[in-house]
Amino acid sequence: MNRKIKFRAWDSFYKMMIHSSYKDFSVLSEFFKELEDRKDNDCKIMQFTGLKDKNGVDIYEGDIIKCSLATEPEDKGFICLWRNFKWEFCNVRFKDDESFNLTDFDYLTVKTEVIGNIYENADMLTSEK
């Protein structure tokens, strides 16, 4: 398997996303050291899934994706989560509903688009009444 190991982190103190710029796994610890040194040390780490959307954008844990085939208005998007030892996607509006697992990852690269993430686009997570 030739998947890139990449991380990003949401710094809740500065309200900014920090991307790992390290290409070599052996120096990835520098990224985590940098996060520890940040003020308030409240960073949420997210891993790259190894998948890309239809525009070639990397899909990370915590991303919100929109499926071009969604037919229901409540399908605002799906949150990418690492759960039960696999990547799962749960509905933004109905988080407690059963999530779906993708076994056909080619589907993601053709039919989905990253439209935000749970930290920078928290407004997407609120239910409209």
CA pseudo-torsion sign 3, 104, 85, 68: positive
For residue 114, tell me if it sits in a domain.
yes
CATH of the domain at 57: 2.30.30.290
Task: Count CB neighbours of 48 within 10 A.
Answer: 19
For residue 119, tell me if it sits in a domain.
yes
Nearest one of 41, 20, 9, 5 to 120, comparing CA atoms = 9
How much is the mean pLDDT over the chain? 76
For residue 1, tell me if it sits in a domain.
no
For residue 79, tell me if it sits in a domain.
yes
Q: What pLDDT sits at residue 19?
A: 83
pLDDT at residue 114 above 90?
yes
The answer to whether the CB of 35 falls within 8 A of the CB of 69 is no
Structural domain for 83, as ranges: 7-125
Query: In this predicted model, which residue has the larger pLDDT, 4 or 62?
Result: 62
Between CA 27 and CA 47 the distance in angstroms is: 16
pTM: 0.78
Which tens digits make up the pLDDT trace of 13-62? 888 888 876 666 566 677 777 777 776 667 888 999 888 898 999 999 99
Write down the number of H helices and E strands in the chain.
2, 9
Q: Read off the pLDDT band of 118 (50, 70, 90).
A: very high
Q: What pLDDT sits at residue 129?
A: 40
Which tens digits make up the pLDDT trace of 66-98? 877 666 655 667 888 887 777 777 777 665 555
Alpha-helix runs per DSSP H in the chain: 28-36, 106-111
Query: 122 by DSSP, 3-state: which?
Result: helix
- Tell me how many domains the chain contains: 1
